[in-house]
Structures are given as structure tokens and as C-alpha cells.
Amino acid sequence: MEHRPTENGTDNEADPEVGTDTGVGGAAGGGRGDEDGSAAEARPGADADATVTEAGAGVGASVGASAAEPPSDADHPATDPPSDGTPPPRTRSRLRRWGRRIALTCVVTLVAVTLASFTYNAFTDDRADPPEGLTYVQAADIRTRYQTWGTSGSPVVLVHGAFESVDTWSRLAPLLARNHRVYALDLTGYGYSQRRGPYTVDHLTRQLLGFLDAMHLGGPGERPLLVGHSSGAAMVAEAALRAPERIGGMMLLDGDALDTGAGPPSALRYVLIDPFRTSLLRIGLGTDWLIRKVYGSQCGPQCPRLDGAGVDQWRRPFQVAGAEGALWSMLGEGVLGIPADRLRRLRDVPMPKSVVFGANDDVFDPKTPTETADRIGAPPPTLIPRSRHLPMISAPEAVAGAIDAVPARQ
């Protein structure tokens, strides 16, 4: 057999592997090994294509393996929060988004509540009429509602406290009328007297002294005993200081007459504004159980339970024309009282004095009755057993006895 060199200059015998491959091809091709060799020679890029294909497969496998592997910490380093404590940008963005949502919710709620409040006020704007048969007199510059009991005996003038009226004395006055001529008035801002500010100790004291003039009290033999309950004690004390020659005596009933309980105007004056405060007031006044609860807490278990007429007696004065505006003004003034230094001047005023408190009055400190009596130069205080802040309702007989015990001024 003739040995032909291959194209690269080597013969088949010099490369047994090549010869073997060729032999296999020839056997499989029915002795056409030379033709296959010629065909292989005719396709010089075939081996290159195979090499590229294998390389592509290798790259694909490598890419697939890389895709299957999770990213390492080196590829995505952790972002530490700023060392100064500032939230990361993503957190700040979330906080701003929630802040905007909360602010929007608050605005929508405020608008809805405001509209509801205006609507409620519009539907409840009708004002109540005062009861029929009331009597009035001009006292200083105020048209004043008043009531009298009894036709003989020494005069006694009853001065109510905050949120009260002539009707607060309805259990006590008939008992006093057995031995006294009894007078009671509605201070301006309360009850059914004309609403006329300012609602100060000075103005209300002028109304009280004007009432004595209108009733022809204050002269010889007509000097009244003034009884002031709660904040009404301040007007009684001030009247005794201004016109001691016209006053027959004074009693502070569950009141110390001081201005220390008032302090500066309440912050609620600035927080509760219209229309909200008007809505809250009207809702409260329209709730019978709330009125009964407040009454019960101030009066105690010894007081008679309020029926429908009793609830209306406490509620209606705040439903008449002008009552709401007057109430807001009075709340701005705070609880009425006078300075302690001025109150001590009563020690030098020669008139009968008395201090009476409910033994269980929780509006004041337990030491208040004794301190008040000492401050104005009165005998030791009288304490009404089992009574709270309204002893003229819970124990009218005991209060009447204390009033009868005050000596008449000569």
C-alpha cells in the first residue's frame, strides 16, 4: 500500500490515532475512507465549529451555575444606619408618608366634627322661657329676680353660689320663715335675672347692695343677716366690708370667700371654643342622668332624688336667652373671691359672724372651716353631720338652726 502523507506533512503511520479514526470511518463507509478523508479536507471549519459549540456550552453552564448561586455579601454589602441616629432614607420616606396620612385624617375629622357641631347647634337653638309668675325688681343696673318668704321677724337675705339660683333655697327658706322675713335673689349670670356683665365680685356686690335698697333693708331695725353659699360668700363678705353699717350679720355657708380657688382663667376657655363648647353644653344639659349625677355628688345621699321637675329646675336657667354667653364670660373670670388680706379686715368689723360647713364637704380642705372662722374673726365653725356641699338641701333643719343661733346686731 502506498503511504500518502497527510496535509500537514505527516503520514498515517506516524499518527496512529488519526489512522485509527480514518480506518473506522472507512470501515463504516464501505471502503470510502479516502473519500471521507477528502470530504474532511474539504470542510476545514468543521473542527472550529465544534470547538465554538463546546465553548458555548461551557459558558452557558457557567452562567447557569452563577445564576443559581445566591448573591454574596461581597456583591451587595450591608447598609449600616447612619452613626448619628438619623433614620435611613427609606424609613424617613415611610414616616413622611404616614405623617401626611395622619394629618389628612385629622383635617377630615375636624371638618366633619365642625359641620356636625354647627348642624346640631342650629337644630337646638330654640331658647327656653322663664317659668311664669316670677317677681323682679331693679337692683343697681340689673333687673333682678327674687322671692320672699315670711311676714315677720328679722330679715335674712340668702345669696346663692355658682350654678345655683333662688330655687336652691326652696327647702331652707320656708323653715326660716317661721322666725324671719326671708329674701333670696338671682345674681346676674344665674337663674332668671338679667344677664349683664362684667361678672365680677365688684359688680355682683353692687347688685346685692342695690337689692337691699330695693327691699328697703339696711336701716335701723332692718339690718339683714346675709347668708352666702359657696362662691356667694365672696359677695356677702365684700358687702360687709363696703357697708358694715347696713348689715346685721353675716354667715359663710360652705364658702371661704377667697380668690385662691379661682386662679387664672382655665385653659378650657381657650381650648373649648364655639361651636364645640355650645354643643357640649347643650348635650350635657339635655342629659338627665348627668344632671342627677352632678347633683348627687355635691349633695350626698341625704338629699332627695331629683324628679323631672327637679332636673328642670337646675337645667332651665342655662337654656334661657343670653345664658350661654354669660356662662362663657363667667368661666373666663374663674370662681369669684376676694384676697385674703382684704378678707382679714372683717376681724375688725363689729358684727355677728358665723361659719357653717357640711362635715363631709369635699369641695374644700377639711381645715378650711376652722381657717375661715379664724380669718374673719368668727366663733369656731358649725359642722353639719353627713352633709356635703349643699347642706341647705340635705339638712335644712340644721342650717336653719345655725341661722337662728346668730345673735341679732344691736
How many whole angstroms separate alpha carbon 94 and alpha carbon 107? 20
pLDDT number for residue 126 = 87
Whether the Cβ atoms of residue 217 and residue 223 lie closer than 8 Å to each other: yes
The vertex-310 CA angle with 307 and 315, nearest 5°, equals: 125
Whether the Cβ atoms of residue 394 and residue 299 lie closer than 8 Å to each other: yes
How many whole angstroms separate alpha carbon 329 and alpha carbon 327? 5
pLDDT number for residue 59 = 38
Kindly report which listed range (310-314, 330-334, 369-373, 399-403) carries the lowest average pLDDT score: 330-334
- Per the DSSP assignment, residues forming a β-bridge with 203 are none
φ/ψ region of 130 (left if φ > 0, alpha if ψ in -120 to 50, else beta) reads beta
Q: Is the pLDDT of residue 49 over 90?
A: no
The residues, any chain, with a CB within 8 Å of residue 39's CB and separated by 6 or more, are none
Residue given cell 350661654 in the structure block: 324
How many whole angstroms separate alpha carbon 367 and alpha carbon 298? 19
Residue given cell 479514526 in the structure block: 21
Of how many residues is the chain composed? 410
**pLDDT tens profile 74-94:** 444 445 555 666 667 787 788
Whether the Cβ atoms of residue 53 and residue 46 lie closer than 8 Å to each other: no
Using 50, 70 and 90 to split pLDDT, how confident is the model at 215? very high
Whether the Cβ atoms of residue 236 and residue 227 lie closer than 8 Å to each other: yes
φ/ψ region of 141 (left if φ > 0, alpha if ψ in -120 to 50, else beta) reads alpha
Higher pLDDT, 17 or 83: 83
Dihedral sign of CA atoms 293, 294, 295, 298 in order: positive
Kindly report which listed range (44-48, 119-123, 156-160, 364-368) carries the lowest average pLDDT score: 44-48
Q: What is the DSSP annotation of 305-337?
A: PP-HHHHHHHHGGGTBTTHHHHHHHHHHH-S--
